[in-house]
Amino acid sequence: MAATNYSILRFTNEEVIDNTERVVETIGNFLLSESGSPSPLERELEGEVLPSTIVINAYVSSIGGETDIEKGLQKAIDAKDSVGGLVECRVSGLPVGLGEPYFDSLESSLSHIVFAIPAVRGIEFGTGFAAAKMFGSEHNDAIEDMEGTTRTNHAGGVVGGISNGNELVFRLAVKPTSSTPKEQHSLNWDTGFTEDFTIKGRHDLCVALRAPVIVEAVTAIVLADFMLLHQQIKRVL
């Protein structure tokens, strides 16, 4: 395979570093007042964007189909192969009314940003795909009082694209990385023939282990955006 031509890059490393330093200096000057003390904008940015009542927690719920994470990883180690996993995210303290019923539903906005995470191959909310095996009477979340409290949370905290005040629950599937020490058979682009090959080097056994902190971050971005849109929090700029 021909070597990649890196001469098409517009900037050298030195130019990139220089430009980055100038941007950082400009932002720093913007945030500081003439006296050099923090400006009102910087003091505003020091606060939390999302209220502390909203708690986001993501974790790996299974590896290779095993809820015992170490067991799932050990199976992959023994097989000398990579393995996928499921990551579950739960958000408590969300106000009622975030989202829209159509294009900008809470689920579609979260799905949009979650699928920007490499290796994510699927997402489900609440009961998710298991709902396909249920009757409507089973899946319905019965309302118990005038506050909107429900007996169950099969919807995962979102009804009609809008948060209903229940805990937001969604899960995403992370595929096994293609880089695996196990021998495989595929096309050699140099020869034009298929052949056995192995990938050398150090690679992640399971990239799903790295996903929870990323999922929490992108979830916070979406929720902060909706909080601004619905004027639940004030704008900084």
Global pTM? 0.77
Q: Given this model, what pLDDT does residue 83 score?
A: 96
Who's near 235: CB < 8 A, 6+ residues apart?
228
CATH assignment of 55-229?
3.60.150.10
DSSP string computed for the chain: -PPP-GGG-SS-HHHHHHHHHHHHHHHHHHHB-TTSSBPHHHHHHTS-SS-TT-EEEEEEEEETTBSSHHHHHHHHHHHTS---EEEEEEEESPPTT-B-SSTT-HHHHHHHHHTTSTTEEEEEETTGGGGGGS-HHHH---B-STT--BS--TTTTEETTEE-SSPEEEEEEEPPPS--SS-EEEEETTTTEEEEE---S---S-GGGGHHHHHHHHHHHHHHHHHHHTTSS----
Over 90: is that where the pLDDT of 211 sits? yes
Q: Which residue in the block uniquely carries the two structure tokens 């000057």?
A: 29
pLDDT tens, residue by residue, 144-172: 988 888 999 999 999 999 999 999 999 99
pLDDT confidence of 1, banded at 50, 70, 90? very low
